[in-house]
Each structure stands twice: as C-alpha cells, then as structure tokens.
Structure 1
Amino acid sequence: MAAQYPFDIDVTKPEGQAEILQLWSKADLTLGLAAWIMKLTQREFLDLAERRGVAPPSNEAIAQRSAELEARMRPLVQRQERDRVRRDLSLRLSETLETSELMGRVVTQAESEGSHSQREAYSGALDHVNAAMAALRLAIALLDDGGRNTEANAPESYTAVASRVLDDLEPVKKRPDYYLTGFGDVIFNHVNPRTVHDVIWSWSQGYLTSETARVLLNLSEDESLEEVARDSDVPLPTEEALSPEEAAEILGDEPLNGDLTFHVRRRIEDARLPSYRRSDVESRRKFEDREKKLQQQTDAEPDHDE
C-alpha cells in the first residue's frame, strides 16, 4: 500500500523501498519512521539497507537536518518569548501606574494640608515610581521595535530604583544548542520546551495540549502531531493533557498577581504534579484536599501540653 506520510510512496514495490532507503540515508527520515513506513522492525530495515548497499545518514546530513529544524523553530520561539515578557512588563506597568496615581493623590493631600515635610517625602517617592514607570515603558518600546532607536527612547533619568520593579521577572534562560534530528541523546525540558523534541515529548507525556503543541511546532493544517511523533520516534500520548488554566481550576487555585496558572506550574516544576492529564490533576486535588482536612483536624485538636 502507499504510505501517506510525508509522501505517497508504494513500499510494496522495489523502487518505493529504494526511495524510502535513500530518504533515510539523507536524514530526511528517522530510522523509526522509515521502518514504520516499510512495516519492518528497525533491525529488519537496517539489514535491508545493508543488502541494498545504502549507507546510514552521515554526520553532515544529520547536521543539515538539525540546522533546518532550528531555523524553523527559532523565529517562533523568539516571538513567543518576546510576547511573554511583554505581557509581564505590561502588567507591571499597569501596577506601577496605579501606584503613581495613588501617590499623586497623597502628595496633593499633603500639600492641601500644609504638611511640607510629608509633601517633600512623598514627592521624592513619587519621582522614583515615575522613573520606574519610564524604565518599563522603555523596555516595552524596545521589545516592540526589536531594540532599534535605543538612544532616542532613553529616559532622562534611569537609576537603580527605576530597575527594581524588574526584579521579579524570570531570568532569560539559555537556549539549548541542539534540536531534534532523531539521532543521539537529547535532553528533555518539559517546563519550558524550546526544541522540537521537547515540544513533541511534552505533548506525548501530558505537559502540553494538542493545540499548544501545534502552535509551538507551527504545523500546517495538513500536518499532524501523530506524524511528527512517529518521525521523532516519540510514543503517542495515552491521555490528552489539560491546559494549565483548566488544571488550576480543578485544583481550586487562586491567582497570584493575576496569574491563575502560577501555582499549578510550580507543582509541575517541582514534580508534585506528574502531568496535566486530567487523571493526574484530579488525583492531586484529592491528595491536597485530604492534606488540608488533616491539617484542619490537627489545628482543631486541643493542646494537652501542661
């Protein structure tokens, strides 16, 4: 029969088998996917390649495939990282603006009451808040224009106080220097997936929804996650993952600084929650409910110490 991924090749004919072997030899197919298309085990496929005189993929072919995948993923990852930081900065700018307005009213009230010492103290604090606000606006502007016109956008005053509002931002994590080619050892990062391997394995293991994985991989309508998984020698998921927002609602989390997913992401990062699969999330909710009930019973018990 003709294989449908990623091309129409009749593997029942010698010429179709030869084409699959050549695609594998050029690193256009992984060993697992090539064997799957041919309906062979990997050992059988390698034996067939040896009989046909087809050499395994060279290091140069693998490196080229890796470079192509990196070029495909880099713009998407950079855009998503920029958008995440911009949302964070915008939230802090909104909070700082509210603080500035509140302190402005305090300064006005102190002036109307004739309290010059308090007015001077509050005015100095207000100046620091406004400097921080200018720094945030500059950071957002630099993100929006890609870092151009830095000097033209620089505020008149930028002090250490102005930068303190940025202290809570997560540090930029070093990008790994590998992308999945289907060969060799690959380190798995499910907390902040950056590579094709991380994304498809995160989806496989219940850390990403199908929709999120498709966006991260920038798949077209005629491409499927299942095909990418087979190409990457990654097993299909046994259960669809929930979004972090859905998991947080099941767990009954309260937002932290407007972020509903903060606590559930922390559970994932420190392995208190195995995955975003509904079964894992509901199991964690039951555990936390039991722990909370036991704590309440302990707190309600009378103190028998003399």
Structure 2
Amino acid sequence: MADRLLVTRRLPEAVERRAAAQYDALLNEGDVKLTSAELVERSRGAAAILCAPGDRLDAATVAALDASVKVVGTFSVGFDHVDAKALEARGIALVNTPDVLSVATAEITMLLLLAAARRAGEGERLLRAGLWTGWTPTQLIGRQVSGLRLGIYGMGSIGREVAAMARGFGMAVHYRNRRRLPAEMEAGAIYHESEDEFLGVCDVLSLNAPATPETTKWLNAARIEMLPEGAIVVNAARGALVDDEALIAALRSGRVSAAGLDVYDGEPKVHPGYLALENAVLLPHLGSATRTARDAMGHLALDGIAGVLAGERPANRVV
C-alpha cells in the first residue's frame, strides 16, 4: 500500500498529479487554509506532509503530529513557518525547495526595483482613475537605474541572479553576506566587510537574505540612516527583515524615496501605513509565481520526501 501524503494547499496540476500517482494523497481541492488542529487531524496515519508558507507548524503543532509522520516538505525555500528544531527533536525530517525559484524571484525583485524607481505604481493608478490629462515634461519624474549602485543584502542563489540581471541594466553591484564569495561567484560584485560601508553605497538596497533571529528587523531606523539620501528599498525575501514603522517613517519623510515590497511581516496582513503611500509599490508575494518555478518547486519537494522515505538523505533536506 502506498504511503499516505497530506498536501495542505492546492498545488500546480502536474505536482498534484504526481502526488496522487505516487502516494495515497490527501489533497486540499478547495484550497482552504487549515488550522493547526485540522492539519494535525488530517495528518493522522500519514507518512509525510507537504505544506506551504501559510501553514504554521509551530512547536505545539509538531508535538501533536502523529508518530506516523516521517517527513515534512515545504513548498518554499524559507522555512521560518516551521519549527525545525521541534521536528528534529521528534526525528521528523524537513525538506524545502532551494534554487529552482531563484530566477523567478530575481525577476520580481527587478520588477519592484524598476517600478519603484520609475514611479510605475503611481502612473498606473493615475491612468486607471481617469486623471491622466496627457504627457507633460515634468510628470512623474523618477530615477534612471542605469549607473546606480545596487546593494544586495544576502548573496545566495537569488541574490546572485538579481546581480546578473542588474548588470544588464548598467548597475554597479555591491553586496553584504555572511562570508565573501569566491571571485567566480562574485562576477565583479564588490564585497563589504562592514555594514556602514555597505549601506553607504546603496542607491538601491535589495533584501535577499533568509529570515532568522539575526536578520529579523535588520532594516531598522539606524540602518536606514546609513543609506544615501533618497535611496530605494526592495524586499522580495521575507517581511520579517524590515522594521515596518521605521521604513514607513522614512518613506513619508522622503529619507527613502521609494520602496518595492512583495513580502510582509505577518502576511497576509500588511501594515496599514504602507497602503496610503504613493511611493510604495506593493505586490502580493508573487516572487515564485511562474508556472516553471512552481512546478519545479513541487517536484523538488516530492523528490525530497521520496528520498527521506526511502532511507536516503536528499540534497534539499534541512534537518
């Protein structure tokens, strides 16, 4: 008899088809978000769970999981919604989906960067409201990104894809990372040892780091003050990296000229302070939302689950 697999959210058709072929799959055809209690109840007798970022597998939820559960796969690279230590303590493996969504997320980063710099959100709202009266020489003047210095905080696979795309727009790439990359991976990007030196050159700051205790609210008021006057901030990584009150205050004052955000602390809730800001471009977490990326994510998660259940240690195993 096939192992039982609980799939907590609706996934791309090809991924669900494979899950149903390989497992006794419990699919969420209505795509209704499960409560922790519902997730625990539906996972009884399951060997594996395939969850998504909206699912909170905190310590209490993990403690309540059935002894049958051997592995949890998350349909994401980040796993801050899962208590990995609690899983490890119970001997439950965790697999994720690294690398396969890097290009798609980098594209969204560049979209946010360009839209924020060129005031695209303001322009679209003006047009849709029927308020555009025609071209004028001084209307919605933004910033040309070519020649600007892009600072990337977190030079992992997504950060490196952003760097490659930014070079195509004639941007100079600087970065801050836990450690310096080999020269061939830097591809000419300039590494900075100190935060103040790094932030001081960021005409545009792109946040591409994971959410960890060390990076939570990393972009705070003190670090914003280190940015050049009128810098642009882009975040397509995790909302927890930003101190919302500090960024909103900087956007209101013009200390930060614009921001492009695809992720939010506590999403789907969005800090209401952003909503009234004309200089904030806001997207609903679209980073990996391409057919290519989402299919690849699902297949990689299923590969990892299958590997664990077969007694192997797949490359995408986290714990």
Q: Above 0.5 in TM-score?
A: no
Which structure has more RCO (C-alpha within 8 Å, separation ≥ 6)?
Answer: 2
Higher strand share: 2
Judging by fraction of residues, say which structure has more helix: 1
Larger radius of gyration: 1
